[in-house]
Amino acid sequence: MYFKKVAIIGVGLIGASFALAIKNHGLSNHITGYGRNEEGLKDATNLSIIDSYSIDLDDVCDEADLIVLATPVGTFIDIAKRIKPKADAVVIDLGSVKGGLVLEIEDLLKGKAYYVGCHPIAGGHHSGFRYAKGDLFNNALCIITPTPNTDKRVLKQIEDMWSSLGAKTMHLDPFKHDEIYSLVSHFPHLLSYALLMTVYKEDPKSIEFSGKGFRDMVRIAGSPAQIWKDIVFYNKENLLQNITALKTEIEYLEDCLKQNKSDEIYQYFRSSQEIYQRLFNPT
């Protein structure tokens, strides 16, 4: 497949990496970017991440074959309402929340453009276009969340595009996607923020004595606040269930400590260790 013009709405780490990947694989001869920070867009253009830019959404989307939503998920609905794509344009998003958001975007774009929800499982320790990598999606998993209304021809086109970028694709129902990623992505982020804040509030100086284990656990607390604020609220029902489940585990451990149930604590730790070894460190 080939896109004469690609419009990247949101030239951050993921959007810029997508632009570079498209360029590196020769899938478009013109990539344009949109954002609120004109100086940043100028720099991204000077670095040849994008070929042109505009702070006017209509200009960026004009005659674009592929429009990519790479802003925080909380902005998707507003953008879907505002864009005026050409009739055969394809719109994808790169957000990590799907569920009802996919259905709402799909409804807003009905009769205006084709839409396919995408979630590339890729990222990095840093944010911003300066850390973009053209091979970010190589060997990455990309979850595609079609609905009964998704055009089959366009779906195949987007699958082929991700394959060309080196990604492996998998289909998930949008709501099942959010159940899964609430557990393995959104919930861990929530816990990482909470763990760091708990330790910091108890004794900020103690962090100076921390080792690699603590730093590994709080690393993702350095993730961009705006992006993760949107994610957790769009997936809050699943996260609330996860918090309830965690409370049960914490209360059990609390009881074991209060009642000096060392055997129970040992068995709990041993069970968790066995699960970890089976799933992540098989011999």
Provide the token pair at 33: 């970017």
- Please write the tens of the pLDDT for every residue from 25-72: 999 999 999 998 999 999 999 999 999 999 999 999 999 999 999 999
Decide: 4 and 28 in contact? Cβ < 8 Å.
yes
Pair type for strands 141-144 and 90-93: unpaired
| In the chain, where the domains are located | 6-172, 176-280
CATH superfamily name and code, 176-280 = 6-phosphogluconate dehydrogenase C-terminal like domain (1.10.3660.10)
Give residue 168's identity as a one-letter amino acid code. Answer: K
pLDDT value of position 144: 98
This prediction has a pTM of 0.94
H-type helices in 25-151, by residue range?
Answer: 38-46, 57-61, 76-82, 99-109
Residue with tokens 């396919």: 116
Measured distance CA(71)–CA(18) in Å, rounded: 13
> Model confidence over 96-148: pLDDT tens digits?
999 999 999 999 999 999 999 999 999 877 789 999 999 999 999 999 999 99
- Kindly report the CATH number that applies to the domain delimited by 6-172: 3.40.50.720
Tokens (6 digits) for 80:
């879907």
